[in-house]
Amino acid sequence: MISRDDIRAARAPLACFLTLGLLWGAFAAQVPGIKAAIAVSDGVFGLCLLFAALGTIVAMWLAPRLDGRLGRHTLALLSLAAGGLFLLPGLASGPLSFAPLLMLAAASTGALDVVMNARISGVEAARGRPLMNFAHAVFSMGYAVSALVAGLLREQGWPPVAVFGLIALVNLVLVRQAAGDCGAPIDDTPDTQGPAAQGLILLGGLVILIGFMAENATEGWSALHLERSLGGGAAEGAMGPAILGVTMAAGRLGGQALVTRFSEITVLALAAALAACGAFTAAFATGLAPAYAGFAVLGLGVSVVAPMAFSYVGRNVGNRARTAAIARISMIGYTGFFIGPPVMGFISEAIGLGWSFAAMGLALLTITFLLAPLLATRHRRRHAG
């Protein structure tokens, strides 16, 4: 169980997890409105998202250096920047303005993501308590509430910039919590990583990449699938990312209970398979109810994939290497978080939106049948040696 002392010790990064949940939840619910406002096809919209992803990956690469300069102020400043910059894409009137403005907003969240995950891992190591699943559950809860509220506001006629303005005001309260960060800046010294740790980071990073690719692709396109493919309204469309957020929060809160009875690798493999089943169900749904069920199952399964990999890698590298390992695994893994939506757009343009969800299901199965067994083999060899 998570105690009050755990929450108090991790309140600064937890506030940042909530900030990102609120921002991306609102964005997911606004996708149909934003896409209509800039008047682009699925493929062009996906290209805009890919452009933003490239900037975000650069920001993740720079995050350790930024953290080294800003130190205890990093979380607060990045949270403040993210809340303000998300106002900009809502003002765009075409793809040429939307892409660079979204790139700036997404880059701020990418850098923040690296630092806050490293801070949570540091608190885990200092207290000897698992917190990663809980931290990601906070993101999911914020995401679900934000997506639902944003969808209702859109149905009432609120423009995207007004919705993001409301989120920015709420974020000011969270920035105050982030300002209390006491964590050590990321140590990105190259010689803290040995060959064994590098292999672990690569495999763990690929697991996170696929998990986040499926998660964010669903977050970004579920509302459009429900509205365009299945005839739902704005509020019914917003239920897609909201359901995903709620079930992901529930899955992450229950994830730690599962690892007390089963190995992390077993939970990882089964969770990815469950998420794949949900993706296939949503892909081939013929009505809103089965699509909702598919997104719920997908959320439950995919919820523990990334936190489990973060925790597994953080626990299996040395103390000196931990923060650098989290930074590097984030760079690999969060690539999936940002390439998922554009990949969905390209597949949707080529063969249909439903089939793009099926492609995410196939990607998730590679965790079950390839990456999880490779991680298990590496773990056995390490302990045998």
pLDDT at 18: 96
pLDDT at 256: 67
* pLDDT exceeds 60 at position 385: no
Confidence of residue 191 (pLDDT cuts 50, 70, 90): very low
pLDDT (average), residues 8-36: 91
Between 229 and 126, whose confidence is greater?
A: 229
In a domain, 103, yes or no: yes
Task: Quote the mean pLDDT of the chain.
Answer: 86
In a domain, 354, yes or no: yes
Confidence of residue 189 (pLDDT cuts 50, 70, 90): low
Rounded Cα distance, 183 and 126, in Å: 10
In a domain, 188, yes or no: no
* pLDDT exceeds 80 at position 323: no
pLDDT (average), residues 38-55: 82
Residues 262-321 pLDDT 10s? 888 899 999 999 999 999 999 999 999 999 999 999 999 999 999 888 888 877 776 666
pLDDT (average), residues 350-356: 89
In a domain, 81, yes or no: yes
pLDDT at 320: 61
* pLDDT exceeds 80 at position 157: yes
pLDDT at 121: 80
Confidence of residue 184 (pLDDT cuts 50, 70, 90): low
In a domain, 187, yes or no: no
In a domain, 129, yes or no: yes
In a domain, 19, yes or no: yes
In a domain, 210, yes or no: yes
Between 61 and 381, whose confidence is greater?
A: 61
pLDDT at 61: 83
* pLDDT exceeds 50 at position 49: yes
pTM above 0.75, yes or no: yes
Among 184-198, 207-221, 278-292, 348-362, the minimum mean pLDDT is found in: 184-198
* pLDDT exceeds 80 at position 44: yes
CATH of the domain at 349: 1.20.1250.20
* pLDDT exceeds 80 at position 1: no
Q: Structurally, how many domains does the chain consist of?
A: 1
pLDDT (average), residues 79-95: 91
* H or E segment and range at residue 234: helix 234-259
* pLDDT exceeds 60 at position 188: no
Question: Which range of residues forms the domain containing residue 36?
Answer: 4-182+193-384
Residues 102-139 pLDDT 10s? 999 999 998 998 889 888 888 877 777 778 888 988 98
pLDDT (average), residues 172-195: 72
